Amino acid sequence: MNHTIVKHIVCIEDEPEMIDLIQLILSRRGFEVSGAPGGKEGLQLVRETIPDLVLLDLMMPDMDGWEVYQQMKAEETTHNIPVIIVTAKAQNIDKVLGLHIAKVDDYIAKPFSPQELIESVERILKRKPD
Protein backbone atom coordinates (compact mmCIF):
# COMPACT_ATOMS: atom_id res chain seq x y z
CA MET A 1 0.00 0.00 0.00
CA ASN A 2 1.09 3.51 -0.73
CA HIS A 3 1.36 5.55 2.45
CA THR A 4 2.06 8.95 1.02
CA ILE A 5 1.48 11.74 3.47
CA VAL A 6 -1.17 14.10 2.14
CA LYS A 7 0.17 17.63 1.95
CA HIS A 8 -2.13 20.23 3.40
CA ILE A 9 -2.33 23.65 1.77
CA VAL A 10 -4.15 26.70 3.08
CA CYS A 11 -5.38 29.13 0.44
CA ILE A 12 -6.08 32.62 1.80
CA GLU A 13 -8.05 34.44 -0.84
CA ASP A 14 -11.07 36.76 -0.78
CA GLU A 15 -12.62 35.46 -4.01
CA PRO A 16 -14.54 32.22 -3.39
CA GLU A 17 -14.30 31.24 -7.09
CA MET A 18 -10.52 31.48 -6.88
CA ILE A 19 -10.45 29.23 -3.80
CA ASP A 20 -12.68 26.74 -5.64
CA LEU A 21 -10.42 26.80 -8.67
CA ILE A 22 -7.27 26.27 -6.61
CA GLN A 23 -8.94 23.45 -4.66
CA LEU A 24 -10.01 21.82 -7.91
CA ILE A 25 -6.56 22.04 -9.50
CA LEU A 26 -4.61 20.89 -6.45
CA SER A 27 -6.97 18.20 -5.17
CA ARG A 28 -6.55 16.42 -8.50
CA ARG A 29 -2.87 16.21 -7.65
CA GLY A 30 -3.65 14.71 -4.26
CA PHE A 31 -3.30 17.83 -2.12
CA GLU A 32 -5.74 18.71 0.59
CA VAL A 33 -6.70 22.38 0.30
CA SER A 34 -8.49 24.48 2.91
CA GLY A 35 -9.70 27.91 1.92
CA ALA A 36 -10.09 31.01 4.03
CA PRO A 37 -11.95 34.02 2.63
CA GLY A 38 -9.85 36.68 4.32
CA GLY A 39 -6.63 37.47 6.10
CA LYS A 40 -7.86 37.19 9.68
CA GLU A 41 -9.59 33.86 9.10
CA GLY A 42 -6.64 32.67 7.07
CA LEU A 43 -4.19 33.43 9.83
CA GLN A 44 -6.41 31.60 12.31
CA LEU A 45 -6.63 28.59 10.01
CA VAL A 46 -2.85 28.54 9.54
CA ARG A 47 -2.32 28.65 13.32
CA GLU A 48 -4.82 25.83 13.89
CA THR A 49 -3.74 23.48 11.11
CA ILE A 50 -0.02 24.27 10.57
CA PRO A 51 -0.22 23.49 6.84
CA ASP A 52 2.67 22.41 4.59
CA LEU A 53 2.21 25.47 2.40
CA VAL A 54 0.20 28.69 2.26
CA LEU A 55 -1.12 30.30 -0.93
CA LEU A 56 -1.64 33.92 -0.02
CA ASP A 57 -3.49 36.61 -1.93
CA LEU A 58 -2.13 40.10 -1.33
CA MET A 59 -5.27 42.11 -1.91
CA MET A 60 -7.89 41.37 0.71
CA PRO A 61 -10.30 43.76 2.35
CA ASP A 62 -9.95 42.81 6.01
CA MET A 63 -6.22 42.28 6.39
CA ASP A 64 -3.84 42.36 3.48
CA GLY A 65 -1.55 39.52 2.53
CA TRP A 66 1.64 41.20 3.74
CA GLU A 67 0.17 41.60 7.19
CA VAL A 68 -0.76 37.91 7.26
CA TYR A 69 2.71 37.06 5.98
CA GLN A 70 4.48 39.18 8.57
CA GLN A 71 2.41 37.74 11.40
CA MET A 72 3.13 34.19 10.21
CA LYS A 73 6.85 34.93 10.05
CA ALA A 74 6.80 36.50 13.51
CA GLU A 75 5.34 33.42 15.20
CA GLU A 76 7.42 30.44 16.26
CA THR A 77 4.87 27.84 15.15
CA THR A 78 4.22 29.27 11.69
CA HIS A 79 7.43 31.00 10.61
CA ASN A 80 8.82 27.99 8.73
CA ILE A 81 5.73 27.42 6.59
CA PRO A 82 6.51 28.23 2.94
CA VAL A 83 4.36 30.93 1.35
CA ILE A 84 3.47 31.42 -2.30
CA ILE A 85 2.07 34.86 -3.01
CA VAL A 86 -0.83 34.94 -5.46
CA THR A 87 -1.53 38.39 -6.82
CA ALA A 88 -3.30 40.08 -9.69
CA LYS A 89 -1.36 43.26 -9.12
CA ALA A 90 1.32 42.66 -11.73
CA GLN A 91 2.15 46.34 -11.91
CA ASN A 92 3.38 46.59 -8.32
CA ILE A 93 4.94 43.15 -8.22
CA ASP A 94 8.39 44.68 -8.67
CA LYS A 95 7.94 46.75 -5.57
CA VAL A 96 6.55 43.76 -3.74
CA LEU A 97 9.45 41.59 -4.83
CA GLY A 98 11.95 44.30 -3.99
CA LEU A 99 10.64 44.38 -0.44
CA HIS A 100 10.28 40.69 0.13
CA ILE A 101 12.25 38.71 -2.42
CA ALA A 102 14.52 37.25 0.24
CA LYS A 103 11.70 35.68 2.20
CA VAL A 104 8.80 34.78 -0.09
CA ASP A 105 9.12 31.28 -1.51
CA ASP A 106 7.47 32.07 -4.81
CA TYR A 107 4.78 34.18 -6.37
CA ILE A 108 2.16 33.56 -9.03
CA ALA A 109 0.41 36.34 -10.93
CA LYS A 110 -3.29 35.99 -11.70
CA PRO A 111 -4.53 34.81 -14.06
CA PHE A 112 -2.33 31.73 -13.85
CA SER A 113 -2.57 28.40 -15.62
CA PRO A 114 -3.24 25.23 -13.63
CA GLN A 115 0.20 24.05 -14.70
CA GLU A 116 1.91 27.14 -13.26
CA LEU A 117 0.15 26.64 -9.94
CA ILE A 118 1.00 22.94 -9.75
CA GLU A 119 4.64 23.49 -10.71
CA SER A 120 5.11 26.22 -8.15
CA VAL A 121 3.45 24.23 -5.35
CA GLU A 122 5.35 21.03 -6.14
CA ARG A 123 8.66 22.85 -6.44
CA ILE A 124 8.28 24.53 -3.06
CA LEU A 125 7.07 21.37 -1.31
CA LYS A 126 9.96 19.33 -2.68
CA ARG A 127 12.39 21.71 -1.01
CA LYS A 128 10.74 21.45 2.36
CA PRO A 129 11.86 18.60 4.60
CA ASP A 130 8.96 16.66 6.10
The pLDDT of residue 73: 92
Segment 61-79 mean pLDDT: 91
Segment 67-82 mean pLDDT: 94
Highest mean pLDDT among 15-19, 65-69, 98-102 belongs to 15-19
Percent of the chain with pLDDT over 70: 83
Segment 3-7 mean pLDDT: 79
Residue boundaries of the structural domains of the chain: 8-127
The pLDDT of residue 96: 61
The domain over range 8-127 is classified in CATH as 3.40.50.2300: yes
The pLDDT of residue 127: 83
> Does the pLDDT at position 78 exceed 70?
yes
When the pLDDT of each residue in the chain is averaged and rounded to a whole number, the result is: 87
Tens digits of residue pLDDT in 84-125: 988 876 656 565 665 555 567 888 888 899 999 999 999 999
Using CA atoms, how far residue 56 sits from 2, 5, 12, 97, in Å, is 31, 23, 5, 14
